[in-house]
Amino acid sequence: MFISKRLACVVIVLLITLNAEAKKKKKSTQLTTSDYEYMIKYGWYPRGVQHDPQSGASSLASMQLFAGLEPTGIMNDETRELIATPRCGNRDIFGANQMHGPPNRAKRYAASSYVWSKTDLKYYFENFSSRLTAEETRDAIQRAFDLWAEHSPLTFQETDDIATTDFVITFATGDHGDGIHNAFDGPRGTLGHAYYPEDGRAHFDDDEDFTVGSHNGVNLYIVAAHEFGHAFGLGHSDVQGSLMYPWYQGYVENYQLPQDDIQGIQQMYGMPPEDEAPAPPGASPNQRSGDNLPDTCTSSWDAVDTSFDGKVFAFKGKYLWRIKNNGAANGFPKKITSFYKRAPSNVDAVVTSRVNQKTYIFKGNRYWRYTNYKLDANFPKKLKPTGLPKSVSAAFVWGGNGKIHIFKGNHFYIFNERTEKIKGGKRTIRDKWHGIPTSVTSAFQWKNGKTYFFRGDKYWRFDDSSLQKERGYPKSKALYWMGCGATPDLPEPIRVLPEENEERN
């Protein structure tokens, strides 16, 4: 009796202690309104919906994972510290109100679909930091641009003409005309933000204690370099230590652009021209001798395609070239069979489906189907059951609807990769592809989503909104696609949308 009474007493005391402990814990780990505000501001939680602890926790876990913290979904000291760290004002996630779990991909940069359509860019100072001299500001901004210029084909020049500038640099405080949600917030917190291409506005919070060459305050050079990354089209990276990581990581002497950011900018714009490996001496693509290698600059193409892994190949005879952002890759042409084993030569058309990622090679009355560069079983097959005519001239995925279009003579067909049959009957090229000659020999969709048509040395770009050939075409294939011009300028069609869907969905 005595014992049990005493036990009961102990149990009660224990319960009370546990309860108090639990309450204390619960309070400090619960998401506050300002935590939700923070997640909303940076794109982790939708604006204008009821704050719900369950989705709040999942948003928090996503943010923690992105930042490199343990994705507990629970507010803890580490996460509080993160939230208190000064950072960029841009969102971490592309697009509004994107709700999804932790991104299941390798950690890395995020290239957006927004790019500059030229590489020689100008910047203009609307005003200067009130903590630094104009010269100090100018120098920090110039070094910030140079950091990126060193690893890309982009070039930057200051201009005093606001009418022709690409970037406008502004130091402002508080609400500065970008909407109340993008207002600056005094010292620390948000340090700056920038608009995606081709807008060009880069804003810095003038309440920050911007410094140069010092561990005190906030280093303008590094913050500006980060903001310019956005201004070129890069989103936030989840790689700690990368420049595009959203949280300010302090001043580093002799700062070098981290590898993750180099990959990001090069995926969007290509490498700096001088980094392209020089052609082996005496073997300029024009003058290569050997067993009937097609000439890189003067050959027409039989076909052109973007393969499932994003490589662009142009086909001629037994050979193919790999086409990169700044022309034909070194070491090409190579045998078609070094990529597509058992493929025919002198192909009619090649296209890779965006639905099943398979590559279809058409020749004569047959077609070959590849998965991951391997010929599928039972191929080649006869074309007849598909409803396609023999000896087609070009095949491509049209960005307008993602469907495979096949040209032959004055007609085109839509090929359904699920049934491997044409959908509907034959249609007339002239009715839909205004301004595109029916005699094109190859066509494909480049990384910018646009369709390009080729014949001989000419190519045409199709405008999907007006449904006709774009103005200024045809242009020279050798010059813009193969890098054969006298001027080593970047070819014009270099408007890359890397893995757009992966980043945006």
Ligand X SMILES: *[C@@H]1O[C@H](CO)[C@@H](O)[C@H](O)[C@H]1NC(C)=O
Residue closer to ligand X (CB basis): 44 or 171: 171
237: buried, middle or exposed (CB in 10 Å: 19+, 13-18, 0-12)? buried
Q: State yes or no: is 420 an active-site residue.
A: no
Q: Establish whether 463 is an annotated binding residue.
A: no
- Chain residues that interact with ligand X, rule: CB under 6 A: 126-127, 130, 170-172, 176, 206
Q: Establish whether 199 is an annotated binding residue.
A: no
| Contact residues for 328 (Cβ-Cβ < 8 A; gap 6+) | 285, 296, 314, 321, 322, 481, 482, 483
Task: Give all strands of the β-sheet with 155-158 in edge-to-edge order.
Answer: 155-158, 120-125, 167-172, 201-205, 192-194
Residue closer to ligand X (CB basis): 184 or 332: 184
The CA dihedral of 228, 230, 234, 240, to the nearest 10 degrees, is 80
Residue closer to ligand X (CB basis): 32 or 127: 127
Residue closer to ligand X (CB basis): 127 or 346: 127
**Whole-number minimum distance, CB 22 to ligand X, in Å?**
49
Handedness of CA 268, 272, 273, 277 (dihedral sign): negative
Structure tokens at 379: 């191929």
User: With contact defined as beta carbons under 8 Å apart, do 127 and 134 qualify?
Assistant: no
**Whole-number minimum distance, CB 170 to ligand X, in Å?**
5
Q: Establish whether 206 is an annotated binding residue.
A: yes
Q: Establish whether 236 is an annotated binding residue.
A: yes
Q: Establish whether 209 is an annotated binding residue.
A: no
Residue closer to ligand X (CB basis): 129 or 352: 129
**Whole-number minimum distance, CB 131 to ligand X, in Å?**
10
Q: Establish whether 405 is an annotated binding residue.
A: no
Residue of this chain nearest to ligand X (CB atom) = 127
Question: Does residue 187 have a cis bond before it (omega within 30 degrees)?
Answer: no
Q: Establish whether 9 is an annotated binding residue.
A: no
Residue closer to ligand X (CB basis): 110 or 172: 172
**Whole-number minimum distance, CB 424 to ligand X, in Å?**
56
**Whole-number minimum distance, CB 25 to ligand X, in Å?**
45
Tell me which residue of 200, 207, 223 sits closest to 129, measured CA to CA.
207
**Whole-number minimum distance, CB 168 to ligand X, in Å?**
9
**Whole-number minimum distance, CB 139 to ligand X, in Å?**
17
Catalytic residue among 227, 276, 417, 503: 227
Backbone angles phi, psi at 67, to 5 degrees: -80, -10
User: With contact defined as beta carbons under 8 Å apart, do 365 and 382 qualify?
Assistant: yes
Residue closer to ligand X (CB basis): 150 or 178: 178
**Whole-number minimum distance, CB 185 to ligand X, in Å?**
15
Q: What share of the chain is helix, strand, coil (3-state, %, to 5)?
A: 25, 25, 50
Cα–chain center distance at 337? 30
Can you tell me the distance from the alpha carbon of 386 to that of 441, in angstroms, rounded to the nearest whole number? 21
Residue closer to ligand X (CB basis): 14 or 162: 162
User: With contact defined as beta carbons under 8 Å apart, do 493 and 487 qualify?
Assistant: no
Q: Establish whether 185 is an annotated binding residue.
A: yes
Residue closer to ligand X (CB basis): 17 or 130: 130
User: With contact defined as beta carbons under 8 Å apart, do 384 and 393 qualify?
Assistant: no
Q: Establish whether 238 is an annotated binding residue.
A: no
Can you tell me the distance from the alpha carbon of 202 to that of 204, in angstroms, rounded to the nearest whole number? 7
Q: Establish whether 470 is an annotated binding residue.
A: no
Residue 296 bridge partners (DSSP): none
Can you tell me the distance from the alpha carbon of 37 to that of 97, in angstroms, rounded to the nearest whole number? 13
**Whole-number minimum distance, CB 210 to ligand X, in Å?**
11
| Contact residues for 26 (Cβ-Cβ < 8 A; gap 6+) | none
Crossing angle of the two packed helices 77-84 and 53-67, in degrees rounded to 10: 70
| Contact residues for 39 (Cβ-Cβ < 8 A; gap 6+) | 45, 56, 59, 60, 63
DSSP per-residue letters across 124-151: EES---SSS-HHHHHHHHHHHHHHHHTT
Instruction: Classify each residue of 178-191 as buried b or exposed e, where b means 16 or more C-beta atoms within 10 Å of its C-beta.
Output: eeeeebbeeebbbb
- Per the annotation, binding residues are 88, 166, 176, 178, 185-186, 193, 203, 205-206, 208, 226, 230, 236, 244, 302, 348, 393, 395
Name the residues annotated as catalytic.
227
Sequence ranges of the binding site for Zn(2+): 88, 176, 178, 193, 203, 226, 230, 236, 244
